[in-house]
Structure 1
């Protein structure tokens, strides 16, 4: 495996982890009850807000250190697809002039899909739990 590909994958993994970590922290700072009310207003179960917040917080940390990258990335793909379909799709890709579109969620879903598909372990904690992909 080319070292440059490994470094690019590692940088992408860490930066996506930071983005999700910040989103999880933001949900906790807003108050999970407020986030739960928002989810409920969208027709989603309130408990899902708690699940998403914890997944973003813990999953973000996991991506940063490279622990369970493939599995965390798959969860993030599902979360982003849910956000697109349930919240943002009606606004279009770039938004409707009043509300943001789903371009960020789509980019995060596709980046997470890349992390799940490639899953290089050389520069990650995962390398201690199995054979590294070469």
Structure 2
């Protein structure tokens, strides 16, 4: 893989990871508010917990470079949910633009992966594979 592409994927992985960790831990730190918000949207309480854990855990996995593709897929699905359930009525500007950008980054990482400076890369090299 071209070095520029590898570094670009790494930076995208870290940026998405930082943003999702922040959002996930914010939800986890205020679960009563998170559950209430999901309830107002007509969503079950358990979905608030699942979303918070996916955002926090998926973000952490991206930061360390472990399970990048499945984490990016799950994070992308949470962004689809945010777009459809929360942001769509506000339109593009001030509405779906931010989760849409995060969804785009999730799709790129889900399709391309990112092993630059990652635990996955270290584990694969330790096992003798590329």
What TM-score, normalized by structure 1, do the two folds share?
A: 0.88
Q: Of 104, 114, 120, which residue of structure 2 is paired with 1:120?
A: 114
Q: How many residues align?
A: 126
1:49 pairs with 2:43: no
State how far apart, in whole Å, the 2-side matches of 1:105 and 1:116 are: 16
Measured after TM superposition, the shift of residue 123 of structure 1 is 2.4
Match of 1:104 in 2: 98
State how far apart, in whole Å, the 1-side matches of 2:86 and 2:70 are: 24
State how far apart, in whole Å, the 2-side matches of 1:34 and 1:66 are: 30
Measured after TM superposition, the shift of residue 37 of structure 1 is 1.0
Match of 1:64 in 2: 63
Cα RMSD over matched residues?
A: 1.4
Measured after TM superposition, the shift of residue 87 of structure 1 is 0.8
Measured after TM superposition, the shift of residue 120 of structure 1 is 3.1
| Matched ranges for 1:1-134 at <5 A | 1-29=1-29, 31-94=30-93, 100-127=94-121, 128-129=123-124, 131-132=129-130
Note the residue ranges of structure 2 that are not aligned, 5 or more in a row: none
State how far apart, in whole Å, the 2-side matches of 1:52 and 1:66 are: 20
Note the residue ranges of structure 1 that are not aligned, 5 or more in a row: 95-99
Question: What is the DSSP-based 3-state SS (H/G/I as helix, E as strand, rest coil) of the residue aligned with 1:102?
Answer: helix
Question: What is the DSSP-based 3-state SS (H/G/I as helix, E as strand, rest coil) of the residue aligned with 1:121?
Answer: coil
State how far apart, in whole Å, the 2-side matches of 1:92 and 1:86 are: 12
